[in-house]
Amino acid sequence: MPRKRTKELVIFDLDNTLTNSLKCWGEATLAAVRLMVDEFGLDEEKTIEAIRRAPSQYRFSDFGSLTEWLDREGVLPRPQDPYDQYRKDITKHYLRQIWFQRQKEMTFFYDGTVTALTAIKAQGTATAIYTDTEASSLIRRTWLLARNARKQGQISDEHDLLDLFDHYYCQPSIEQDFDILKDVDLPFVHRMKRNMTLWQDLVYKPSIDHGLIILKDFGVPAKRALMVGDTAKDGGSARPLAMDFAWCRFGAEIDPVTVATAQKIASPKFQYGLASIVACFNQHSDPTHTLACDIGELMTHFKFIKGPAFSLQAHNGRSSPAYRHSDADPATDTRVAKRMAHDFHAQQRLPPLGPPTHLEPSAPVSHSIDPAGKAGPETPKPQG
């Protein structure tokens, strides 16, 4: 039997790795779109074409914001009188609630996930979530995961879930996060934000530079770290650094209805389903291990031990191989990564939800990527 490789840090993708996000998104979005078309008397094909033009964070994270965007773009009918305006406002609110309710009902961990996370943390191993999901959606969905895990008896309190992750790396919110987080437990929100890094460069996976920053934050060499995810984008963030990549094959096995919904509503530049995801792998992203059923299989492939804790000063000279990449500027962390914990200490009077998760207008923003090409949480990017 081959000797297990020792790991001090595990970096988890979120969507279709820890939870079946694409199916949840597909069912919630399809139901809301059909209702929107019926209520406003819209042409379905033209409505879907407009949705594909919307920023991905609206399409994938908040249907209410998507509805407002469609209204600003003139897709929704113009009200003829105050009663029309009232009916329109009520309908938009209802659409948002329908979408959130469906998300709430379907946001569960894959079977065995909480048990596996608990076992890994019991060894003192550092853990992080690294996702293309925007911050406010990450917080809300983590709260829903925690609530449903508590209801299923997997944890005794929602805050117990936060003990299983040391840090969260994600994209900035596209706008103020009050509306999407107003019904989430405030201490839960604050605790996540204190342990959160936003990618100011707005670069999506795969990103070698993001991987280097994560390794530096934990003071762990690449050979002692492990990336766990469901697509070649996750492997492409790890393998060029000589980091092991455990592929969640189960997360790539998407049912035909969800695949059809994603192909219909999401970006046409991306493909979905097991065959398409497998076709994306290449020498820079091939998995070193495959998980067929759940992340509990990690225990059979790796030995987990206590590693350094997260610290901005944790880097001690051990590093992954130098690897220059064009999608970010690794010369200084301050331009690439926004540390939310700093805002808690720097601001005297914070709003109830703590510092906002969207970037200030002065922050560098890249417009080099077509918004329609940012297909949202963890969708596979064709290689070649």
Contact between 370 and 202 under an 8 Å Cβ cutoff? The reply is no
**Is 70 exceeded by the pLDDT of residue 315?**
no
pLDDT of residue 248: 97
| Residue 230 within a domain | yes
**Is 50 exceeded by the pLDDT of residue 329?**
no
Q: Which of 33-47, 163-177, 225-239, 264-278 has the lowest mean pLDDT?
A: 264-278
pLDDT for 94-111, tens place per residue? 998 888 888 888 999 999
**Is 50 exceeded by the pLDDT of residue 205?**
yes
Average pLDDT rounded to a whole number, residues 55-76: 87
Tell me, yes or no, whether 166 and 226 share the same domain: yes
DSSP 138: H
Tell me phi and psi for residue 208, to 5 degrees: -70, -40
Report the domain count for the chain: 2
| Residue 52 within a domain | yes
Residue with tokens 């065995």: 112
* Contacts (Cβ under 8 Å, ≥6 apart) of 312: 217, 333, 339
CATH number, position 327: 3.40.50.1000
Q: Which of 134-138, 186-190, 252-256 has the lowest mean pLDDT?
A: 252-256
Tell me, yes or no, whether 80 and 149 share the same domain: no
Pair of tokens at residue 342: 């700093």
The mean predicted confidence, pLDDT, of the chain is: 86
Pair of tokens at residue 197: 């890094």
- β-bridge pairing 244-248 and 289-291: parallel
Average pLDDT rounded to a whole number, residues 75-104: 91
Radius of gyration of the chain (CA): 21
Residue with tokens 């695949």: 259
pLDDT, greater one: 241 or 312: 241
| Residue 382 within a domain | no
Pair of tokens at residue 240: 């060029």
Tell me, yes or no, whether 81 and 114 share the same domain: no
Q: Which of 355, 343, 344, 25 is nearest to 176 (CA)?
A: 355
Tell me, yes or no, whether 51 and 189 share the same domain: no
**Is 60 exceeded by the pLDDT of residue 354?**
yes
Q: Which domain holds residue 259?
A: 5-19+109-360
**Is 80 exceeded by the pLDDT of residue 324?**
no
| Residue 376 within a domain | no
| Residue 70 within a domain | yes
Tell me, yes or no, whether 250 and 170 share the same domain: yes
| Residue 191 within a domain | yes
How far out from the chain centre does Cα 257 lie?
Answer: 22
Tell me, yes or no, whether 212 and 90 share the same domain: no
Tell me, yes or no, whether 149 and 76 share the same domain: no
DSSP 244: E
pLDDT of residue 100: 87
Average pLDDT rounded to a whole number, residues 278-290: 95
% pLDDT > 70, the chain: 86
**Is 50 exceeded by the pLDDT of residue 326?**
no
- Cα-Cα-Cα-Cα torsion 101, 188, 304, 296, nearest 10 degrees, comes to -20
End residue of a domain, out of 106, 127, 143: 106
Tell me, yes or no, whether 147 and 87 share the same domain: no
Tell me, yes or no, whether 92 and 117 share the same domain: no
Q: Provide DSSP, 257-279.
A: HHHHHHHHHS-TT---SHHHHHH
Residue 289, judged by CB atoms within 10 A of its CB (0-12, 13-18, 19+), counts as middle
- For residue 319, give the H/E element and its range: none
Tell me, yes or no, whether 142 and 260 share the same domain: yes
Tell me, yes or no, whether 94 and 136 share the same domain: no
> Cα separation of 306 and 309, whole Å?
9
**Is 50 exceeded by the pLDDT of residue 161?**
yes
pLDDT for 162-202, tens place per residue? 999 999 999 999 888 888 898 999 999 999 999 999 999 98
Q: Provide DSSP, 181-241.
A: HTTS-HHHHHHHHHTEEEETT-PPSS-HHHHHHHHHHHT--GGGEEEEESSHHHHHHHGGG
% pLDDT > 90, the chain: 64
| Residue 92 within a domain | yes
Average pLDDT rounded to a whole number, residues 106-121: 96
| Residue 213 within a domain | yes
Tell me, yes or no, whether 213 and 65 share the same domain: no
